């Protein structure tokens, strides 16, 4: 999973590009105050009775209601009009019956503090429904689940699956035969279609290519309703509720700093929310982390965000800008996701901006995997997603031990089933009780450990570069996906490309042009870039390859006799 796939929120949506979303709770307060279109169709949710262990947000009105209620017709409404042709694109967000949406909201809120046995029962019931649906409608899973009784099946007995295998057999994977990979590729190649709907009922986003070519993920209205509810109702509040309620959220401005150009989960989620609540669009903006830092700072200062959503390394980069007096904003809370947020990073960012951080963990495959509590622990939404940390032989590891990879099962999405899907992240699951009292397991993520680079410009001023921005430049600007970029001096970078990456010379030329353009935009025209190709890329600790390596943590060079492109 790549950080850009998530949209930081808690998200998430944030979550990775991330995420998407599942993020941006509390937007509906402002939407209601501003009279956003479609709020009249909102359905009042059942009043929650106060219980001894009610979640702080569970008893509040559904803060994401307008986001998902702006269009209240049924997913089957298309049956009453001409059916959209395969690959058709529409501007209307996916629809879900208001009563069903309310049921999802109520379920997510009421199960936040349910007993472990109740959570396991929900998880088991949803797993049985997923297995039955996949066996009946997905040709890939029909073969894998042949002879399996969903009511008696053990998840561990089902063969794991990889992203590469599913994408090679996309038509056999999805349960709606109208979903064509070729049409979806054309759709996601068009930036004008970000946030639009396919076949009048699906939202589509792409993952990054951190483990090869990008994948495509299709979400129906039910899955989106689950992600939104998890984001809105299970994140720990960073401010007292009355600060949101005092003026209905009026005056709140949400800024997302990240990858804003592609069909990544974060960007798709951003545009989806803008379409769902048009009256609120002006208060919800995305800012590209590829902008020159002075221009990014100027744009953020003009917008004056009260909520800042971004990745941990981007938050740290902005915090250093603020400390240096080059950024003057005063967010009231910050949402991060998509990367590891260390305690030191959290402390530095919170001290710089004088507000609290809410962190999350999500992926393109499931936007709202886990949200942090007030003790900083990421609690898994176990009633909607199953995580299995496994060793390199795909055998389960003991509680508290980080696996070689993680198998994910998405219980919310039946149009594109994910059952024991190799996510690629290394996590450790902990079952011991958390001081916050939440009944769910909490996790630690060992991954996304790329470094924030600090280079020196011609005047010896420090310029910090986000690893996600550098990754975006190489993936999106150069079409290079298998690489390591290492800082070798105050103004020197070494880019290693794997054997056979995109026919050598063409990849070298694209990578050189893209990197030099980005460095020049950041005021680093003095930086030297050396490119090496035809070398094996060394994995980091635990076998997960680090792609952006800072000066303080350089491994011994493995260039050897590799073919070199002259630096420029």
Rounded mean pLDDT of the chain?
A: 79
pLDDT band at 238; cut points 50, 70, 90: confident
- pLDDT at site 542: 45
Task: Give the end of a domain, one of 426, 444, 462.
Answer: 444
Mean pLDDT across 459-480: 88
> For residue 303, is it within any domain?
yes
pLDDT band at 461; cut points 50, 70, 90: very high
> For residue 6, is it within any domain?
no
Query: Is the Cβ–Cβ distance between 358 and 236 less than 8 Å?
Result: yes
CA distance linking residue 48 with residue 277, whole number of Å: 26
Claim to verify: residue 433 and residue 470 sit in the same structural domain: no
> For residue 358, is it within any domain?
yes
Mean pLDDT across 426-441: 94
CA distance linking residue 474 with residue 492, whole number of Å: 17
> In the structure encoding, which two tokens stand for residue 372, read together?
């942090």
Claim to verify: residue 375 and residue 325 sit in the same structural domain: yes
Claim to verify: residue 223 and residue 245 sit in the same structural domain: yes
> For residue 20, is it within any domain?
no
User: Looking at the 3D structure of the chain, how many domains does it have?
Assistant: 2
Claim to verify: residue 126 and residue 274 sit in the same structural domain: yes
Claim to verify: residue 301 and residue 368 sit in the same structural domain: yes
SS3 call for 422: strand
Claim to verify: residue 395 and residue 367 sit in the same structural domain: yes
CA distance linking residue 312 with residue 160, whole number of Å: 31
Query: Is the Cβ–Cβ distance between 340 and 9 less than 8 Å?
Result: no
Claim to verify: residue 457 and residue 439 sit in the same structural domain: no
Q: Crossing angle for the helix pair 312-323 and 293-303, nearest 10 degrees?
A: 90
> For residue 11, is it within any domain?
no
> For residue 483, is it within any domain?
yes
Claim to verify: residue 314 and residue 380 sit in the same structural domain: yes
Which residues span the domain enclosing 303?
Answer: 27-444
CATH of the domain at 522: 3.30.300.30
- pLDDT at site 567: 38
> For residue 10, is it within any domain?
no
CATH of the domain at 257: 3.40.50.12780
Task: Give the end of a domain, one of 398, 422, 444.
Answer: 444
Token look-up 């915090």 returns: 319
Give residue 115's region: left, alpha or beta (phi > 0; psi -120 to 50).
beta
> For residue 506, is it within any domain?
yes
Q: Name 129's Cβ contacts closer than 8 Å, sequence gap at least 6.
A: 150, 414
Claim to verify: residue 186 and residue 273 sit in the same structural domain: yes
Q: Give, for 108, the enclosing helix (H) or strand (E).
A: helix 98-110
Lowest-confidence region among 26-30, 339-343, 379-383: 26-30
Nearest Cα to 229, choosing from 451, 23, 437, 449? Answer: 23
More confidently predicted of 548 and 11? 548
Claim to verify: residue 231 and residue 287 sit in the same structural domain: yes
Instruction: Dump pLDDT digits (tens) for 136-193.
Output: 999 999 999 998 999 999 999 999 999 999 999 999 999 999 999 999 999 999 988 9
Task: Give the end of a domain, one of 444, 461, 487.
Answer: 444
Claim to verify: residue 334 and residue 359 sit in the same structural domain: yes
- If one counts every other C-beta atom within 10 angstroms of the C-beta of residue 295, the result is 12
Claim to verify: residue 406 and residue 266 sit in the same structural domain: yes
């Amino acid at each position: 999973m790549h950080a850009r796939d998530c949209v930081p929120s808690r998200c998430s949506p944030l979550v990775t590009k991330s995420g998407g979303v599942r993020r941006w709770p509390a937007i509906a307060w402002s939407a209601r105050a501003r009279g956003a279109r479609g709020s009249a169709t909102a359905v009042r949710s059942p009043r929650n009775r106060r219980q001894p262990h009610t979640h702080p947000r569970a008893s509040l009105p559904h803060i994401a209601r307008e986001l998902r209620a702006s269009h209240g017709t049924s997913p089957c409404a298309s049956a009453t009009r001409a059916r959209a042709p395969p690959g058709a694109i529409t501007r209307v967000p996916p629809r879900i019956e208001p009563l069903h949406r309310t049921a999802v909201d109520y379920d997510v809120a009421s199960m936040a503090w349910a007993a472990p046995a109740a959570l396991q029962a929900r998880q088991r019931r949803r797993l049985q429904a997923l297995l039955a649906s996949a066996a009946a409608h997905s040709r890939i899973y029909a073969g894998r689940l042949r002879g399996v009784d969903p009511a008696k099946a053990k998840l561990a007995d089902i063969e794991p699956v990889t992203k590469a295998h599913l994408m090679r057999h996309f038509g056999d994977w999805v349960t709606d035969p109208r979903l064509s990979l070729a049409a979806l590729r054309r759709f996601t190649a068009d930036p004008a279609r970000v946030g639009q709907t396919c076949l009048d009922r699906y939202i589509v986003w792409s993952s990054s290519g951190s483990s090869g070519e990008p994948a495509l993920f299709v979400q129906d209205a039910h899955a989106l309703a689950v992600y939104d509810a998890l984001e809105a109702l299970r994140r720990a509040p960073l401010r007292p509720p009355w600060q949101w309620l005092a003026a209905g959220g009026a005056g709140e401005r949400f800024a997302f700093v990240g990858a804003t150009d592609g069909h990544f989960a974060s960007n798709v989620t951003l545009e989806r929310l803008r379409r769902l609540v048009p009256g609120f669009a002006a208060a919800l903006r995305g800012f590209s982390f590829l902008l020159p830092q002075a221009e990014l700072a100027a744009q953020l200062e003009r917008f004056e965000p009260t909520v800042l959503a971004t990745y941990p390394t981007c938050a740290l980069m902005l915090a250093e800008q603020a400390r240096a007096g080059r950024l003057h904003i005063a967010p009231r809370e910050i949402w991060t996701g998509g990367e590891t947020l260390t305690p030191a990073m959290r402390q530095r960012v919170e001290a710089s901006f004088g507000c609290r951080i809410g962190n999350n963990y999500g992926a393109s495959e499931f936007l709202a995997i886990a949200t942090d509590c007030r003790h900083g622990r990421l609690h898994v939404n176990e009633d909607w997603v199953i995580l299995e940390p496994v060793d390199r032989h795909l055998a389960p590891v003991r509680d508290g031990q980080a696996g070689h990879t993680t198998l994910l099962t998405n219980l919310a999405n039946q149009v594109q089933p994910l059952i024991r899907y190799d996510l690629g992240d290394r996590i450790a699951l902990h079952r011991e009780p958390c001081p916050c009292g939440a009944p769910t397991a909490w996790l630690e993520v060992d991954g996304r450990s790329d470094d924030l680079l600090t280079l020196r410009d011609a005047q010896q001023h420090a310029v910090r570069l986000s690893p996600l921005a550098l990754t975006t430049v190489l993936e999106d600007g150069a079409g290079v996906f298998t690489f390591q970029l290492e800082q070798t001096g105050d103004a020197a970078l070494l880019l290693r490309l794997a054997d056979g990456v995109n026919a050598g010379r063409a990849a070298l030329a694209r990578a050189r042009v893209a990197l030099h353009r980005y460095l020049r935009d950041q005021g680093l025209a003095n930086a030297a870039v050396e490119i090496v190709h035809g070398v094996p890329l060394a994995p980091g600790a635990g076998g997960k390859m680090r792609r952006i390596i800072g000066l303080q943590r350089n491994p011994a060079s493995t260039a050897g006799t590799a073919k070199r492109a002259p630096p420029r």
